């Protein structure tokens, strides 16, 4: 009996862990959940939402950063949430939208890439990773139509081409490659305005980190759902860089120094906006 089951599993083997779940255990997928039917006059479902993510290319790679605030309506649900995660050694993922589903989708994507590498004995190409993430987002479309949308950013280092690349998505799973920088989330319009002024081709890694923190600072200045650097609580954005050496999380000590310089300059200039 055990041998028969093992043979059946081997016969159904696929390089896609998501396809395996969809076929054998669809109930375990983060977006295969049923919600109670809404009744007239009922209060809309309130769940934590992750907000602003910024990403950009720099000389030698790509960078992604996210603030630490999650909101639930007009309330702060968390000041400590992390919204940027390593997908594998050469890619990172930033989440915006319904926090619970986004985090589950991120974990599934991480397992998807690890599973592919174990089955195939090689890393999935960056385009392949971007396409698989798009398929997962498309699978969440029924939940998105009920107000539980997930819209991530994806970035990685293309080891074949030797360049960093950045991808954005819509709720239908549509994939779009961004050439310079991009933002998502409630504070994205303000962060994007900052990036247009601060970003330039050939930034060093240190300069890119400073630009990302300042863009998030500007977003927090005008968007109540975005949390800025918090020296009192010692809370700083989550920032990852990805280059030919792989993904690296920027230490909080570096981020504290960068945020301190930004605050010092703005305080000295007595800036109102």
pLDDT tens for residues 194-214? 999 999 999 999 999 999 999
Helix ranges (H only) for the chain are: 2-11, 17-24, 99-120, 126-139, 141-144, 188-198, 205-222, 252-268
How far is C-alpha 164 from the chain's CA centre?
A: 16
Average pLDDT, the chain: 86
The residue among 210, 207, 227, 203 whose CA lies nearest residue 49 is 227
pLDDT in tens, 150-199: 889 999 999 999 999 999 999 899 999 999 999 999 999 999 999 999 99
Task: Determine phi and psi for 219, rounding to 5 degrees.
Answer: -65, -45
pLDDT in tens, 221-244: 999 999 989 999 999 999 999 999
CA atoms within 13 A on the CB side of 251: 3
Exposure b/e, 103-130, CB count within 10 A at least 16 = b: bbbbebbbebbebbeeeeeebbebeebb
> Helix axis angle, 205-222 relative to 188-198, nearest 10°?
140
Please give the residue that has the higher pLDDT: either 31 or 77. Answer: 77
The residues that are catalytic are 51
CA atoms within 13 A on the CB side of 135: 15
Burial class of 246 by CB neighbour count within 10 A (0 to 12, 13 to 18, 19+) = middle
């Amino acid at each position: 009996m055990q041998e028969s089951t093992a043979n059946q599993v081997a016969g159904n083997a696929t390089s896609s862990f998501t396809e395996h779940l969809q076929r054998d255990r669809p109930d375990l997928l983060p977006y295969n959940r049923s919600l109670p039917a809404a009744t007239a006059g009922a209060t809309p479902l309130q769940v934590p939402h992750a907000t602003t993510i910024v990403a950009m290319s720099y000389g030698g790679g790509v960078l992604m950063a996210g603030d630490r605030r999650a909101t639930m309506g007009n309330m702060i649900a968390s000041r400590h949430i992390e919204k940027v995660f390593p997908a594998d050694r050469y890619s990172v993922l930033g989440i915006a939208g319904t926090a619970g589903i986004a985090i589950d989708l991120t974990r599934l994507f991480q397992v998807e890439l690890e599973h592919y590498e174990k089955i195939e004995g090689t890393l999935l190409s960056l385009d392949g990773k971007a396409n698989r993430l798009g398929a997962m987002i498309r699978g969440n479309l029924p939940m998105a139509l009920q107000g539980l949308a997930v819209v991530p950013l994806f970035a990685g280092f293309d080891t074949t081409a030797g360049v960093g690349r950045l991808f954005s998505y819509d709720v239908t799973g549509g994939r779009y490659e961004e050439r310079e920088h991009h933002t998502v989330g409630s504070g994205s319009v303000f962060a994007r305005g900052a990036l247009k002024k601060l970003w330039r081709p050939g930034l060093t890694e240190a300069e890119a980190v400073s630009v990302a923190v300042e863009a998030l600072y500007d977003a927090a200045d005008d968007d109540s759902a975005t949390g800025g650097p918090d020296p009192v609580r010692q809370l700083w954005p989550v920032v990852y860089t990805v280059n030919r050496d792989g993904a690296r999380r920027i230490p909080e000590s570096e981020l504290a120094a960068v945020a301190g310089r930004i605050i010092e300059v703005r305080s000295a200039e007595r800036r109102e906006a």
